Amino acid sequence: MPPGTRDYYEILGVSRSADEKEIKRAFRRLARKFHPDVNPGDKDAERKFKEIGEAYEVLRDPQKRQQYDRFGHLGDAWRQAAASSPGGFTWSTTAGPDFDGFGNLNDLIDEFLGGRGAPFAGARTRPRRGQDVQAEIDLTLEDAFRGAVRQVALPISQACPTCQGSGLAGGTSVCRTCGGRGQTAQTKRLEVKIPPGVRTGSKIRVAGQGAAGSAGERGDLYLIPKIASHPFFRRRGDDLYCDMPVTYAEAALGADIEVPTLNGRVTMKLPPGTSSGQRLRLAGRGMPGRRGTGDLYVRIGIVVPKDLTEEEKQLIDRLGRMRRDNPRANLRA
């Protein structure tokens, strides 16, 4: 190419045989590197940023790229040559040949990034939905089992210009982002319904209660449950587990025993000859879930009394001599 001619392939740092994916990757990398917001006041970065946008607009379009490959050796006059050639086209770019300003170039990058590109400083942007925000909410296992209604404090974004509402602190009036600087955000109270069966780390969506957008449409609020440990039950998925102490006589002869559940006490039949550590299942006594209610697994623990009377000792000794079982007979080292 003649001296001073801009080589679009060189600008993007790709070969002339580069495919569409390579061109896109190069464009994204360079656009972020020379972004005006990343390089405030840097005229050289601004110039390169415009060149990157122009190069990508040409090379991403198969027809424009074909004409550029054919007439690009003419320098900037290739546009006119392409337009006047048989089968040529009228040259145009989204923001004029020199990409004056960042408005339409921002739209180009935003389109390329799937609508996730951040607006450039001073850019003409489309109305955007507000950001989603998250906050933890403390719950008990009983709350998670039955469902609950909770009051959540939401910071009003106007009261905290630093975070614009993104420093949501569930259940308090202190903005997490600004709180470290001694600022307190004004709050509004919101009543939220917690559905039964939620787990730690799951998300509860509250539509339209996130940060405000440029067009007034708010994002969503996502509450992240943090469920406290329970003194009796352990949770695994939708199933619950607990330990149940029984006497030697109950385990040996069998018995009907009462077992606590999150929905009241139930009677469980303990089979004769139950061993310590044996696990019994109470179907449908666990946590509610998407596929139905989980189960409650009860692990039996035989409690051996430590204050035996002489008569009790004699009876147990007699029983031991009557039985010839050796529970260790099949052990192998």
Q: What is the four-CA torsion angle of 312, 315, 321, 322, rounded to 10 degrees?
A: -140
Residue 90 has pLDDT above 50, yes or no: no
- 8-112 against 133-227: fold identical: no
Residue 224 bridge partners (DSSP) = 136
pLDDT score for 21: 92
Tell me the residue ranges of DSSP E strands in 195-333: 204-206, 221-227, 234-236, 239-247, 255-261, 264-270, 279-282, 288-289, 292-293, 296-303
CATH code of domain 234-322: 2.60.260.20
Residue 75 has pLDDT above 50, yes or no: yes
Q: Quick one: average pLDDT of 95-113? A: 46
pLDDT score for 234: 97
Identify the CA nearest to 54 among candidates 4, 14, 92, 90.
92
Distance in angstroms (rounded) separating the CA atoms of residues 35 and 109: 11
pLDDT score for 77: 56
Amino acid at 241: Y
Residue 3 has pLDDT above 60, yes or no: no
Identify the CA nearest to 300 among candidates 264, 333, 268, 262.
268
Residues 6+ apart with CB under 8 A from 113: 28
pLDDT score for 82: 56
For the chain, the maximum distance between any two Cα atoms, rounded to a whole number of angstroms, is: 117
* Helices marked H in 113-235: 141-146, 176-179
Output the DSSP codes for 277-303: T-EEEETT-S-EETTEE--EEEEEEEE
Average pLDDT, the chain: 79
CATH code of domain 133-227: 2.60.260.20
C-beta atoms surrounding 63 within 10 Å: 12
Entry pTM = 0.55
| Bigger pLDDT: 25 vs 102 | 25
> Which CATH architecture group holds 8-112?
Orthogonal Bundle (1.10)
Q: Quick one: average pLDDT of 201-213? A: 88
pLDDT score for 30: 92
Return the DSSP state at 262: B
pLDDT score for 188: 79
| Bigger pLDDT: 4 vs 324 | 324
Q: Quick one: average pLDDT of 113-138? A: 64
Domain residues of the chain, as ranges? Answer: 8-112, 133-227, 234-322
